[in-house]
Homo-oligomer: A and B are copies of this chain.
Amino acid sequence: MSNDAARAKFQSYLGTKGLRVTNQRLAIFEAAFAQKEHFTAEELLEHARAIDDSVSRATVYRTLPIMIESALLREVDIGKNLKYYLPNQGNNTQVAQVICMDCDKIFEISAPFMEWYGATVSSKLGLTPATQRLQVNAHCDALKATGTCKHRG
């Protein structure tokens, strides 16, 4: 999905929900979709303020759930008391994260079998799966060998 298409979807979503298209919300959208890596709420605030310096932290936190509900953004919780976000480029919701614990880089890996697994296990418990998360925390081989984590940067 191009950024233009994503922006159109965002505005359309706001309209559908009776929410207003404000400069702050647009700035937050633009800042989010300019990112190529995972980002935090604080980083998003910083980038959004570069576009519109009237954006406040509160509005970032109030806008993030809207963008997640509309499937424009994906929330990635890697168990660090700090949430990461990522523009949802494709429609691949079945994604696992491999996290380099040495440089904190997060790799997104397609893991389609997760859906099957979740459905199988849940049905035995009388449950219907909603969302799934698979996360692998790993150490960098290169760091141990050469002292440099090649994933960094």
Interface set of A (CB-CB < 8 Å, partner B): 77, 79, 81, 96, 98, 100-101, 107, 109, 111, 114, 117-118, 121-122, 125-142, 150-151
Q: Is the interface of A mostly helix, strand, loop or mixed?
A: strand
Instruction: Give chain B residues whose Cβ lies under 8 Å from the Cβ of A125.
Output: 98, 100, 107, 138, 151
A135 touches which of B98, B132, B141 (Cβ 8 Å): B132
Please name the residue on chain B nearest to A79 by beta carbon: B77
A101 touches B121 (CB 8 A): no
A132 touches which of B127, B129, B134, B139 (Cβ 8 Å): B134
Please name the residue on chain B nearest to A119 by beta carbon: B136
A98-B121, A121-B136, A134-B134 as given contacts; A141 in contact with B129, CB under 8 Å: no
A127 touches which of B81, B98, B122, B128 (Cβ 8 Å): B98
B138 touches A118 (CB 8 A): yes
A122 touches which of B98, B130, B134, B150 (Cβ 8 Å): B98
A133 touches B134 (CB 8 A): yes
